[in-house]
Structure 1
């Protein structure tokens, strides 16, 4: 399987957008007192986290198929790992 740089770049942009949205959700969750909004933010956080996890699995497959040491799929793997780790460390926010 040959890596498509166009698809990989699109996934990189998507992870970047999702990562920013996760940060915004956390900030909104901290500042709001509305119970309904908190429930919606919690649900959206879970959905986005699952999507980043899916992209991470795709990135791992692309990276394994590549013979080059430096490529976009390697960057995608790193970016998804960082986003997932950031979200895991801050997941306690939703259980306060």
Structure 2
């Protein structure tokens, strides 16, 4: 399987957008007192987190097939892993 740099770049952009949205959700969740909004933010966070996890799995597959030391799939894998690690606040933020 040959890596498509265009598709990998699009996934990188998607991870970047989703990371920013997750940060916004986290900030909104901390500052709001509206129960309905908190519930919606919780489910949106869960959905986005699942998508970033899917992208991370795709990046792992692309990375296994590529022998180069530096490429877009490695960057995608690192970015998605950092996003997942940064936003593993589901367990501690939403149950404060």
> TM-score, normalization: structure 2?
0.97
> TM-score, normalization: structure 1?
0.97
Report the count of equivalent residues: 95
Gaps of 5+ in 2: none
Gaps of 5+ in 1: none
- Note the C-alpha offset of 1:68: 0.6
What is the rounded CA distance, in whole Å, between the counterparts of 2:84 and 2:78 in structure 1? Answer: 10
Render the CA deviation track for 1:46-82: whole Å, top value 9, x for unaligned. 0000000000000000000111110000000000000
What is the rounded CA distance, in whole Å, between the counterparts of 1:94 and 1:11 in structure 2? Answer: 28
Which portions of structure 1, spanning 4 or more consecutive aligned residues, are displaced by more than 3 angstroms? none
Please state whether the residue corresponding to 2:70 is helix, strand or coil. Answer: coil
| Correspondence 1:1-96 to 2 at 5 A | 1-88=1-88, 90-91=89-90, 92-96=92-96
The structure with the largest helix share of the pair is 1
